Chains A and B, each alone.
Chain A
Amino acid sequence: MFKQAKWSEPLVFELGAPGRIGVALPEIDEEIKNLVGEVKIPSSIKRTTPPQLPELSEVEVVRHFTNLTQMSYGVDNGPVPLGSCTMKYNPRIAWEIAFDPRITELHPLQDEKTVQGLLELMYELQRWLANIVGMDVCTLHPAAGAHGELAGVLTIKKYHEVKGQLDKKTEIIIPDSAHGTNPASAAMAGFKVIEVPTGLDGNVDMEALKSIVGDSTAGLMITNPSTLGLFEEHILEIAELFHNYDALLYYDGANLNGIMGYTRPGDMGFDIAHINIHKTFSSPHGGGGPGAGPICIKDRLVDRDRNIWLRDLIPGYVVVYDEKERVYKLRGLGPYSVGLLKSFFANTVPLVWAYVYILMMGPQGLRRVTEHAVLVTNYFAKLVSEIRGFEIPYGKSRFRKHEVVVSARPMSNEVGVTAEDIAKGLLDAGFYAPTIYFPLIVKEALQTEFTETETPENIDKYVARLREISEVAYKNSLEPKNWPINTSVGRVNMAKANNPKYLTPTWRVYLKRLRGELE
């Protein structure tokens, strides 16, 4: 039986004692102190009250954070089948290598000559990723998936700017099943977002799409397989349609784990794709980040007279090999580049992780990854569809790819037990819950993605738990409202946490409110 640790762990501010310190800092050398004298910072900028930080010894710090880890849950603890998140096992050999001081101590502005080994690794990774997605050039620069999306839509914007048609190309088309980051990224790039509906078969509604695409269309952002886990069967027709209007196709790579080795965005007609290194390529998600979101492009001539190619427009840096000097270099920003999206090169540590993963997998292993991700998904889908209260809408007879969206609408309609209740019931059995209430087009959605690293035994147990939840729901529909009971705390009161009268984003706000200093 699952019972999560419940430490009444104080906040770090409630620990320690005045005068303690948790790290042995060096003393300032006497000779240095004598030579420099007192600190001579002008009073207008000299800090007079030290920051009110708690004072802990090192042993208190390790206990505090160890207790906090025991009230957390990751892939190392059990299944985390969050849909569209691809929470796979994070191999520790890659951890050991990616955290090697010979990487972590390299400054991004160091002379390229001094980091040739790392640059060669990055150069190879660029090529491997390009081959995996069927593209020509990759930049490793973006720090996350959404950052890659921004990099991609800005590249689309630059494409139309260079072609002198930006005043006309103002719209980006996005399916209603898309990740929220897609419309948000398009909006950040200054585009108007036009939504296209999904048909009952799970494909984009082609009639609706044709009526929307036109001269003002700048591009399409789509993931394939979709967030329903369904392969977009009209993708070639869609690509042709957009290209006929000189609009570019952007591939949201969040769902690459569902097709790797079977087909490639570049072959499907996409012009730009991002890759979630922390999903498909196994770098850990760290409780929210870091990730890395390289983008790759299918090169094409943008302006014949000025000899500008799509590769000239992408942001960040590309690692190139200088045949003459026989050295690897970072190719900087050209005059047509979108520019920098972060201060320096790339999120190197997760990228090294991905390099090790691909190195050990080889193409054979990567294709197997997809095969088993898809296999376990359809296995789960089949079993769950037989449980009372659940259904799998859209493309009912179709096979899923990396994920499946189960709807608890029948259960919710019949007895009022919701996707949220079901999620909490899963937590109680020691499983993380799926992504719930997404995609928005599915009512009471449980978007489930086990990935190839989950054991069939755990999937069986997960299904058994869902069956149990269903039985409880139909017997006593009020009981699930009390879940969870086996986690560190009971169900969180979200309304109160978001009430402006209670809103507490930091400890100091809590103290100020207590003293009546806010409002």
Chain B
Amino acid sequence: MNTSHPWIPSSTPEQVEKMLKIIGVKSIEELFTDIPREVLLTREIWESLEIGFKRPLSEIEAKRVIEEKFSRNTKLKTPPFLGGGVYPHYVPSLVKYIVSRGEFLTAYTPYQAEISQGLMQALFEYQSLIAELLDMDVVNASMYDWGSAAAEAVLMALRVNKNRGKVILPANMNPFHKKVIETYTWPHNIKLEIVPYDKIRGTIDIERVKELVDSNTAAVYVQYPNFFGIIEPEVRAIGELTHEKGSLFITGVYPIALGLLKPPGELGADIAVGEGQPLGLGLNYGGPYLGVFATRYDMNLIRQMPGRIIGLAESVRSERCFAMILQTREQHIRRARATSNICTNEALVAIAAAIYLSMLGKNGVVKLAEINYYNAHYAWIKMKKNGLNVEVFKEDFFNEFPISFNEFKLKYSVIHEKLLEKGIHGGLYIGKYYPELGETALFAFTEVHLKSDIDMLIEALREVVFKR
């Protein structure tokens, strides 16, 4: 292969020859002679493997391949009415533009502070903006997603409350997050105790919390709005019960809801986690997302915090600047005794969230929450008027609620298929996680759903359910 490759600038014969000469070898292959013969691949074998299309492709060809693939995804008429932890939200063009700038996009973790000030300031602003939204003082520069952030919060609580071996989780938390917590805690002999939910209200059974919290409880976790979309009016009371026993109170939040709901700090949270995806990021079919992680200003907590933190600093010339702080908690210094193994995080996504929060500002955050609330409540009222059972639970919700199809003797999978035929992707079937709810699905509504989208959904549901 004698032609130079656009991504390999040293691949001209002259340059190869020059470098080989300086190194003092005859061929590039000579540089690989320390690989044992038994495991050395010949060019012929390697090139016969199914890797790509077994030959290099041009940009033009590659785009054709991708177009063909994309064409086999279903084109829906509206954004899906799906939530369950991540949501279709609008991402302003400016957010996408800034995070595409090469100085951020192609940078590494800011190991060299002096040349990475802009990146660190953006991350510091992310931490600071989230701190205001959550009313918490300390925020790290990101975890992978809500589920892993919740799991790391549980591990942190177990380090802070070293001699305690129990963590209390609510049955109405996101079941995917629960699975992640189970995975992370599995090696550590922890008892995960599940608090049932109130079957009528859909909220956590606070009486059961009272019975379960004890002096062996390291932490209690509460999600609000909970997995059913319900607002959970008694978060603060649960926090107080938790603190009475010296346990840590962890809350999981959907940040958009905090335009209308009291922030974790005000409700007594010691650690707050959440999903930053709604703050300026697409759904991305599973990731990247943004694990929000915050704690109170208490050195006993901060020292046990996982993840990277950017702090305000000063240069030797007395300039205001930024630096990675408290690195002695991290794996590259503390190794086996680190607070977490996390290294690569979701920095660019955190910056996206910082940009979006800067654009929204104090009033925009509230307004965005209201649009979500109103759209969902409009859907709820109209569905109720149309004879659908949206009163699975009594308590108010934010932008997501369950619809039960049990009384129509209809499987949700059938309804789902019929909706799809009409180009609509309905909600998430939750009977799988809550068999007692049977044929029930969780529907989510955000600012990307226009009134006409919601009307179309309701009309379609009516047809499917009543005009069989």
Contacts and interface: CB of A to CB of B under 8 A. Distances in A.
A288 B188 CA distance: 29
B182 A154 contact: no
Interface in A326-369: 333, 338-350, 356, 358-369
B19 interface: yes
A368 B103 contact: no
Interface string A52-92: 11111010011011111111111111001010010111110
Interface in A1-57: 4, 9, 11-13, 16, 19-23, 25-26, 28-29, 31-33, 35-36, 39-42, 44-48, 50-56
A29 B364 contact: no
B8 A350 contact: no
14 contacts: A72-B107, A74-B106, A101-B282, A132-B49, A146-B342, A146-B343, A184-B341, A268-B39, A340-B183, A344-B285, A348-B287, A363-B47, A366-B51, A368-B11
B165 interface: no
Assign chain B's interface to a size class. 35 or more
Interface stretch (A298-306, A408-416, A432-440): A432-440
A146 B331 contact: yes
Nearest to A279: B344
A181 interface: yes
Given A236-B36, A378-B23, A484 B114 contact: yes
Interface stretch (A243-251, A255-263, A467-475): A255-263
Interface in B296-331: 297, 299, 302, 308-317, 319, 321-323, 325-326, 330-331
A56 B43 CA distance: 57
Given A72-B118, A288-B347, A89 B7 contact: yes
Interface string B83-119: 0111010011010111111111111111111111111
B133 interface: yes
A205 interface: no
A438 B331 CA distance: 12
A487 B114 contact: yes
Contacts of A491: 114, 315-316
B349 interface: yes
B106 A285 contact: yes
A98 to B, nearest CB: 9
A71 to B, nearest CB: 3
A196 B338 CA distance: 19
Contact of B148 (A48, A259, A342): A342
A360 B59 contact: yes
Interface in A204-257: 230-231, 233, 235-236
A359 B103 contact: no
Contacts of B374: 28-29, 32-33, 36
Given A262-B41, A264-B41, A489 B284 contact: no
Given A76-B105, A345-B286, 16 more contacts: A56-B358, A56-B359, A114-B76, A143-B287, A146-B331, A157-B187, A263-B39, A286-B104, A287-B105, A287-B122, A343-B145, A343-B147, A360-B52, A364-B47, A364-B55, A432-B115
A343 B289 contact: yes
Contact of A69 (B118, B365, B396): B118
Contact of B132 (A29, A52, A87, A399): A52
A504 interface: yes
Interchain residue pairs A-B with the least CB separation, the first 4: A286-B348, A76-B102, A190-B187, A288-B347
A479 interface: no
Interface string B9-40: 11100011011101111001011111110111
Contact of A53 (B105, B137, B340, B362): B362
A372 B8 contact: yes
Contacts of A346: 286-287
A393 interface: no
A233 B428 CA distance: 52
A490 B8 contact: no
Interface in B373-389: 373-375, 377-378, 381-382
A287 B260 contact: no
Given A39-B373, A95-B100, A291-B344, A21 B137 contact: no
Given A113-B420, A505-B127, A184 B261 contact: no
B118 A71 contact: yes
A192 B378 CA distance: 56
B65 interface: yes
Interface in A466-504: 484, 487-494, 496-498, 500, 503-504
Interface string B114-130: 11111101111101110
B218 to A, nearest CB: 16
A107 B80 contact: yes
A45 B235 contact: yes
Nearest to A481: B316
A508 B345 contact: no
Nearest to B125: A12
Contacts of B422: none
Nearest to B129: A53
A99 B341 CA distance: 28
B404 interface: no
A295 interface: no
A359 B65 contact: yes
Contacts of B468: none
A508 B361 contact: no
A376 B19 contact: yes
A115 B62 contact: no
A363 B46 contact: yes
Given A108-B286, A111-B420, A489-B114, A61 B94 contact: yes
Given A68-B121, A121-B69, A498-B325, A382 B297 contact: no
A122 to B, nearest CB: 9
Nearest to A69: B103
A367 B77 CA distance: 44
B320 to A, nearest CB: 8
Contacts of B314: 492-493, 496-497
B118 A379 contact: no
A374 interface: yes
A343 B176 contact: yes
Nearest to A108: B286
Given A72-B118, A180-B338, A383 B22 contact: yes
B347 A344 contact: no
A315 interface: yes
A193 interface: yes
Contacts of A189: 187
Contacts of A389: none
B332 A288 contact: no
B241 to A, nearest CB: 15
B315 A489 contact: yes
Contacts of A315: 183
Interface string A99-140: 111111111111101111110110000011001100000000
B366 interface: yes
A44 B236 contact: yes
B369 to A, nearest CB: 9
A514 to B, nearest CB: 11
A292 B183 CA distance: 19
Contact of A25 (B113, B364, B373): B364
Given A115-B74, A132-B51, A378-B31, A507 B7 contact: no
A121 B35 CA distance: 33
Interface in B131-148: 131-133, 135, 137-139, 141-142, 144-148
B392 interface: no
A498 B326 contact: yes
A293 B343 CA distance: 12
A487 B9 contact: no
B357 interface: yes
Contacts of B124: 11, 506-507
Contacts of B119: 68, 71-72, 287
A454 interface: yes
Contacts of B101: 66, 69
A346 B429 CA distance: 21
B7 A453 contact: yes
